[in-house]
Every structure is written in structure tokens, then in C-alpha cells.
Structure 1
Amino acid sequence: MKSNRTSVITIVVALLIGAGFALAGSQGGATIGGFPLFALAVIAAFAIQVIAFVPAAALRTERFFDLTGSLTFIVISIALVLLVPQIDARGLILAAMVVLWAVRLGSFLFAARVRRAGSDSRFEQIKGSPVRFLQVWVLQGLWVSITAGAAWIAMAVAPAQQRPLEWLGVVGIVVWVVGLTIEIVADAQKSAFRADPSNAGEFISTGLWARSRHPNYFGEIVLWIGVALVAVPVLQGWQWVALLSPVFVALLIGRVSGVPMLEAKADATWGGRDDYAAYKKRTPVLVPRLGASPARGANG
């Protein structure tokens, strides 16, 4: 079947990209038993997804897909703290940033996509095919590895590379806090909007959603930029591949699976309405508009 061949190719490409990322990010980094810690983290990220895929495929369920991704961020970040020969303040801060974000997002997505909805519509067409279903789990391993890459590479640098937390690190922490706050507030506003029966079938255009059609995604991008800023001072050589992390997050959200999919869904739902057209005209897609703003309307 052509779709299965495509999935196999995608899986192989994802594994090769992951291997290259692990190799580059590991150069000059700390090791355990002679094996680079960052490479071990990437291997573990993929392995956890494949292990979780086995019962998920047997039961034909995606119920714990998002939860598995979040737990991978958490487990590996904590493992690195325990395995790095001499973890420093920067490493502990980076681990905390990743873990706190993963706990918040994982619980939110599990509640929003599965517990309330009962299933995740993204998987309806693929969970009956083991190869296609495996593909999304492997891609999640790649997503975890590259997204957390800046934090994990900086955590796993050799002790000689470690430096005191200076002004750029403080700026990074502030940027991360701002991004996480925007994401949390935007998600809370949308959840409250949807919980109100009078808003059934409507789009949200109040609060942060009056300033951006996807403020939660904007917050997500900002917080990973903050993580990268904290990591930057200790990077050297091929470890600079860590900066792929915020770029990858921005491209994934802005061009692939985030904004484009939701914009298409919203257009299909409300595209013929004048109020939605007005909302789109006055509200930026991603980067929030500053200053006074009108009210009520969208994003599904």
C-alpha cells in the first residue's frame, strides 16, 4: 500500500534526522560510561514512544499519546539531572523549565482532547494501520528531541563548559515566564469560553484572542525562545544545533501542524460569516496586536 510505504520512509527519515541531531548535539558533551548523555536522551525519547506504541496499537487507542509525549520530556529531563556528572544552576533551571511546561501542557491536552472529547479526531484515519500509527509515535519522538534539544544539550555539556548564570540567562527566564503565562491564560480563556453553553458553535474573540487568533501558540514559541536564551552561553561547536529548537517549534506551529490546520478548520466552520471575516481582518494570525482592541469573535 502506498500510504504504508510513505509511512515507512517518513519513519526512516525521522530516525536519521534524530540520529544526526543526537550526534551533533553530543560533541564535546558529558558522557556516562563513554556514551554521550545527550545522544542517550534522544535514543530514550524515541524508545519511549515505540514502547508506548505497542499497547496503543494493540488496543487501537490514542488515549495516552499526548500524555506519553509530556512524560517523555519530564522523565528524560529528570534523568539528565541525575546522570550529569556535575549539574549546575543552569542545568537545574533548564530542567525545571521543561518539566513545568510539560506537566502543564500534558495535563491540559489530556483533559481537553481525550477526557472531555473521549477521543482525538487526529487519529481516526490512522490508528487502524500499525505502520501509519507507528509513524506518528516516531515523529513524536523527533518532536520531543528537537523541542527539548536546547535544554538537554546545555544540561549535558562537559563540566569545563559550565558557566555562572549571567544576564542572558536571566533574560531567558523572564522570556520563558512571559511565554508560559500567555499560553496558560489563552488556554484558560478558551476553555472557559467553550464551557459556556451560550457560546456553542461560536468562535472566541475576547481576552488575548482579541489580539491574536492563536495567542496560545505565540506563547509556546516565546517560551522555547526563553529556554534557548538560557542555553546559549554554554554552547560550542556542533552544540549550536540546539538553536534548532525554537526555530523548529516556530515552523511546526506556524507552517505545519498548528496554525494552518486550525485556520483551515475555522474557515470551513465560520468562513461565510461577516463577523468572522471582520475578526480575521482586524486580528493578527499569531503575533498579538498591541494597543486598544475591539471585542468578540474566533478560532476553533
Structure 2
Amino acid sequence: MSVFLSCLALVALLMVITFAVAIKAGKHVVIDVAWGLGFAVIALAAFVLGGGDPLRRVLLLVLTCLWGLRLALHLGRRVAGGGEDPRYEALLAKAPGSRDAYAFRMIYVTQGLIMVFVSLPVQVGMTTTGPIGWLGWAGVALWLVGFVFETVGDWQLARFRADPTSKGRVLDTGLWRYTRHPNYFGDAVIWWGLFLIAAEHWPGVLTLLSPLVMTYFLLAKTGKPLLERRLSATRPGYADYVRRTSGFVPLPPKR
């Protein structure tokens, strides 16, 4: 069985298990934890089945698992202590029939397919036999930049939320002074780094759409716009923060 079909089958199994856990827990937000875990599963399967350059395979495995497992742990803490995500509540309010069937189709099948598609640089890179060169190492450096932004951004946000005096305020210090979404920016940069590692040899360059899709979702679909609509409605100072702070790429704040 090919790397792609094996990863597709494993993700399908993971989505079924996650759906069962969500039904038992009474909240579909648990899939946010499975999102990071799924990429780690894909990386491990592709590592075992890929047969490409050993160094590239190890790098892709370690970098993908570090990102995926850290994200799963970070989101797991949030999911464990909270209720349903408003995104899923709004989605399920439109269910034409069975909410469970609609949830499985619109949340689990959709996210599973996106996961397999976005991870194509990892899957293809694991099969590439050419040695890693300067472009691959540039990808590793880019991944490190993204990982720092995402990890530090999440840590700063978690500290801010845990402070009782931050209620109703806007986080505008640390990395959040230079971009309204350092964690989303870091996430996108991570996947561009993984793409460069895979793109060094044919056919890795064909996976260009994968980081583009991830960046598109973060910028225009599930990430930035949904969060900013909610914050604009609940944080009085958010409009001024938007005016002076870059929406994605870190830049010096406007006066």
C-alpha cells in the first residue's frame, strides 16, 4: 500500500475514534486535539513506509511530531477545562437532520481530508531519495522560526488568559505587539519550512498547494477572521489594536 493510502486510512481511523470520544464527551472540540496528533501519526507512517533519504526522513519525522504533539498538548489543556467551541455550535445549528451525522461529515471528514492534503510535503518528502542540501536546511531554519513564534505566542496568550486582571483587555505585549496572530503566523511558517524540505527534489515541489491551503485557512477561513469577529464584539480596545498592529506578518506597530 502506498504512503498516501496508508496515511489516508490511518487518518480515517483516527477521525472515527475521535468522533466516538466526542460523542461520549458531549463536545466536538476534542477534534482540535486530534488535529495535532493526526499529523504526528501521518509523519510516523510515512517515515516507516517512505524509504527516502534517511536524514530527510528523520528531520521530517522529528519536526512534524514536535509541532503536532506540542499543539495537541496545548489544545488538550484548553479542551479539558472548557465546553463546546462556538465554531462547532454555530455549525451544528445549521444541521438539516441528524446533528451527529452532520457533525461527522462537516467536521471529521472535512478536517481529515484537509489533514491528509496539508501533510503532503511530509508524505512526499519521506519518499525522496536525493540528499538534503541548502534548500532543505533553509526549510529547517524556517520551521524553527515558525515554531518559536507559535510556541511563544501560545505561551504568552495562556499567561494573559490566566491573569484575572486581563479580563476585557487586549493582549498587546510580547510578540502580540508586532502581529495580532503570532501563533497563526508561526503555524503557517512551519508548513512553508516543511515544504522547502520536501521541495528540494522532484516531485516535492508539486506539494506547493499544501502550505498555500494551510495559510489560506489560517488567514481567511478558520483562524484569523473568526477570532477577530469575536474579539471585536467583546473587547472595547480591539479596534485600536487592529489599527496599529499588523494582521499577520510581524511588523513594528503603527503610532
Q: Compute the TM-score of the two structures, normalised by the length of structure 2.
A: 0.89
Q: Aligned partners of 1:167 and 1:231: how far apart in 2? A: 12
- Structure 1 residues 226 and 242, CA gap change in structure 2 (3 angstroms): same
Deviates more, 1:76-85 or 1:96-105: 76-85
Counterpart for residue 111 of structure 2:
140
Q: CA deviation at 1:96?
A: 1.0
What 5-or-longer segments of structure 2 have no aligned partner?
A: none
Question: For the aligned residues, what is the CA RMSD?
Answer: 2.1
Percent sequence identity is 32
- The answer as to 2:172 corresponding to 1:209 is no
- 1:56 maps to 22
> Would the alpha carbon gap of residues 55 and 104 (structure 1) be closer, same or farther in structure 2, given more than 3 Å must change?
closer
Structure 1 gaps, min length 5: 1-34, 295-300
> What's the offset of the Cα at 1:59?
5.3
Alignment of 1:38-57 (within 5 A): 38-57=4-23
Partners in 1 of 2:42 and 2:132 — Cα distance? 23
- 1:59-109 Cα distance to aligned partner (Å, 9 max, x none): 533253122222221222112222234551101101111100001111111
Match of 2:232 among 242, 248, 267: 267
Aligned residues of 1:81 and 1:87 also touching (Cα < 8 A): no
What residue is the counterpart of 2:238 in the other structure? Answer: 276
Alignment of 1:179-258 (within 5 A): 179-236=146-203, 240-258=205-223
Please give the secondary structure, in 2, of the residue aligned with 1:234.
coil
State the AA in 2 paired with 1:204: L
CA offsets per residue over residues 114-158 of structure 1, 9 Å max, x none?
12324433333529711221020111102211221111111134x
Change (3 A) 1:83 1:277: closer
Q: CA deviation at 1:44?
A: 2.2
In the TM superposition, residue 232 of structure 1 has moved relative to its aligned partner by 0.4
Please report how far the alpha carbon of residue 243 of structure 1 lies from its aligned counterpart in structure 2 after TM superposition: 1.3
The answer as to whether partners of 1:74 and 1:103 remain within 8 angstroms in 2 is: yes
Amino acid at match of 2:157: K
Q: CA deviation at 1:53?
A: 1.8
Match of 1:163 in 2: 130
Is the 1:182–1:216 Cα contact (8 Å) retained in structure 2? Answer: yes
Match of 1:70 among 36, 39, 49: 36
The alpha-carbon deviation at position 256 of structure 1 amounts to: 0.6
Name the residue aligned to 1:12: none
Stretches (4+) displaced over 6 A: none
**8 Å CA contact retained: 2:52, 2:126:** no
Structure 1 52/168 Cα, relative in aligned 2: closer, same or farther at 3 Å? same
Distance 1:268 1:41 in 2: 40
